[in-house]
Amino acid sequence: MAGLEETLVLVKPDGVARNLTGEILSRIEAKGYQLVDIRMVEPNRDLLSAHYAEHEGKPFFDPLVNFMESGPVVAMRIAGHAAIAGVRSLCGATDPTAAAPGTIRGDLGRDWGLAVQQNLIHASDSLESSSRELALWFAR
Ligand code: IDP
Ligand code: MG
């Protein structure tokens, strides 16, 4: 059973541009998770390539990195019991069209050509990715 965990949440450039940072954080806090650290970042390609290393070589990789570089991103360190799986549940499916109502992507993600890419939020998917990603985004 999962214990106290920390996870990385990113409000992607579309979420920041649409003024949804507060709404997204509200949902995470309302569920009982704790905001431990937050910063606005303009990520460079090196950071984004490291962050999305598992997707390198896939057809959506370059457009994804370009999109993530297109505007500021809000990075959050979130803590709580089983926070990694729990925050992923709050996000919903990667494709906002398929994401269930009640989830962040299901309620707030738009249905349009770039919906899968511009899906508002990133959240770590495992203990291994959360420690790797938190070290990348919250490096001193
Ligand atoms: P996740 O964010 O739900 O974990 P991943 O499969 O890890 O989804 O993909 C990382 C990110 O890459 C997605 O959140 C989305 O922005 C983008 N992405 C994934 N699959 C596609 C696709 O088929 N087309 C365009 N963008 C994609
Ligand atoms: Mg992923």
pLDDT (tens digit, 9 = 90+) per residue, 73-128?
Answer: 999 999 999 999 999 999 999 999 999 999 999 999 998 889 899 999 999 999 99
Q: Domain spans of the chain? A: 4-137
Global pTM value:
0.97
Residue 107 has phi, psi (to 5 degrees) of -85, -35
DSSP conformation letters of 23-38: HHHHHHHHTT-EEEEE
The token pair at 21 is 């940072």
The residue contributing the CA closest to ligand 1 atom 9 is 94
Residue list, ligand 1 pocket, CB within 6 Å: 55, 60, 64, 94, 116-117, 119, 122, 125
CATH number, span 4-137? 3.30.70.141
